[in-house]
Chains A and B, each alone.
Chain A
Amino acid sequence: MDKKVEQYDVVIIGGGAAGLTAGIYCGRARLNTLLIEKSLVGGLATYTNEIENYPGFPEGSTGLGLMELFHKQAKKFGVKFKLTDVKGVSLEGEKKIVETFRTNYEAKVVIIASGGKPRLTGAKNEDLYLYDKGISFCATCDAAANTGKTVMVIGSGDAAIEEGMFLTKFADKVIVSVMHDEGIMDCNEIAKGQALANPKMEFIWNSVVEEFAGDGHLNEVVLKNTKNDSLIRVPVDSCFLFIGYLPNTELFRDVIELNRPGYVITNEKMETNVPGVFAAGDVRDKFLKQVATAVGDGAIAGYGAEKYIAESEIFESQIMGSELPGIVFLWNAVMPECRALLPVIEAFEEKYKGKIKVTKVDIYKSKGLADRLEMDEVPALVYIKEGKIIKSRKGSFTETDLEELSAL
């Protein structure tokens, strides 16, 4: 079966808060944008029952409800959605390819917003009981099915404790396995206080999962005491894992620079080591992973995508693609010494009209073109002939300098 080929300006991989925000910015900039999401649009936030710290919603919002609004806004700006998983990518070079099961999507820019996936415990027989067999990662999804039951929560971070408390609204008993000493939890103090006071919650301190057991469906979790290695067999109806996330970056490993745990390394403009490839949200190596910070990343990546595409067009058609030899004047509009050179360059342009193509590049908003011309300071001049950089010079200049540089 031959694969279909479709062209876009921007392909965004991942439809969580970061990807959707990048989509809103790209769509609004009238870029032809495709967002690929492997399952439910909204990403990890849809696994959270209540989001109370996303600004603008003083009454809080459900994760799903908030993400539906993001989705609606991206659609309004013309972003197209494809619900499938990405099988492979080719990111180096100007034409990027994002491959799915049926189609190859070609794009000028790719934004990686693939987030993370829940980490597993690695305990014995874990794979036998995933999803509908008793091990879940989503309290919002599976809470109602546990009405009147006994459930276990693994972990003590914000997600574990907050979702654990949500589960107490349905389950009779929520047993939390915490690896730390009694009273020590990784979550925020407010959640900790509430959880310790919740009569339906029990805690098993200094414990990790040793084994999952059952008869087709999970009915027992075997914990191990980390102090004395004794085993504790706990009968449960289901078990929820909240022990962190792993980045979804296997596809990018060979091309994109990752840190040791596998998160994408970016600069503050969300640029990766490959030109035209940006990353945003939880997939990045960053300090705080929240909807509020994912939104900021997405906005920067979307804006960066727009700038990159605009610069590529100027670079290829005007600067490198010109039939005439060219002089590029790199300047910064806020620097007086750069402004002082404008009359010199304009007089030169007038004098050699039809012989030399002069392009003025203001780097105030973006250094992208200066980087492509391998120039790290302004004012500067670059001489280009037949699509190649021939010579360049830094600092102030006179008309004679210009003539000398362009061999006139």
Chain B
Amino acid sequence: MKEYTLDCLGEACPVPLMKTEKKINSMEVGDVLVVQIDHSCAMKNVPEWARTQGYNVEIEEVEDGEWEVVIEKTK
């Protein structure tokens, strides 16, 4: 099980989601991706997309307006 970090700081929609999709597709089942975002729009589509894929998602608010979306590729 590997953990990857994806830096999407400063990037607006839909870039964070496009990058997340691409990165996840290159990962193995069981790997974890931490997506760093600071545009609130990405908080609406990145977790939502990952959940519709059936992945486990948890979010940490690093500070006001900055988040880490932790996605576990479960299948």
Q: How far is the CA of A141 from the CA of B60 in the complex (A)?
A: 21
- Say yes or no for A144: interface residue by CB 8 A criterion: yes
Residue of A nearest to B48 (CB): A39
* Docked complex: A132-147 residues within 8 A CB-CB of B: 132, 138, 140-142, 144-145
Quick one: which of A46, A64, A141 contacts B13, CB cutoff 8 A? A141
B41 in the interface (beta carbon within 8 A): yes
B2-15 CB contact bits vs A (8 Å, 1 = yes)? 00000000001110
Contact A64 B40 (CB under 8 A): yes
Contact status of A132 and B18, CB under 8 A, knowing A141-B44, A142-B13: yes
A142 and B40 contacting across the interface, CB-CB below 8 Å: no
Looking at chain A's contact residues, the main secondary structure is mixed
Given A131-B49, A132-B14, A132-B17, answer yes or no on A84-B58 (Cβ-Cβ < 8 Å): yes
Give chain A residues whose Cβ lies under 8 Å from the Cβ of B14: 131-132, 142, 145
Is A94 positioned at the interface, with any CB of B under 8 Å from its CB?
Answer: no
Interface size on B, residues (CB 8 A): 23
A101 within 8 A of B: yes
**Taking the complex as formed, is A5 at the interface, i.e. its CB lies under 8 A from any CB of chain B?**
no
Would you call B51 an interface residue if the criterion is a C-beta within 8 Å of the partner chain's C-beta atoms? yes
Cα of A130 to Cα of B48 in the assembled complex, Å: 11
Interface residues of B in 10-61 (CB under 8 A from A): 12-14, 17-18, 21, 40-41, 43-45, 47-49, 51-52, 56-61
CB distance from A149 to the nearest CB of B (A): 13
**Could you list 27 examples of A-B contacts with CB < 8 Å?**
A38-B51, A39-B43, A46-B44, A47-B44, A81-B61, A83-B61, A84-B57, A85-B57, A100-B58, A101-B57, A101-B58, A102-B58, A130-B49, A131-B45, A131-B48, A131-B49, A132-B14, A132-B18, A132-B21, A132-B45, A138-B41, A138-B44, A140-B41, A141-B13, A141-B41, A142-B14, A144-B12
Chain B positions near chain A (C-beta within 8 angstroms): 12-14, 17-18, 21, 40-41, 43-45, 47-49, 51-52, 56-61, 67
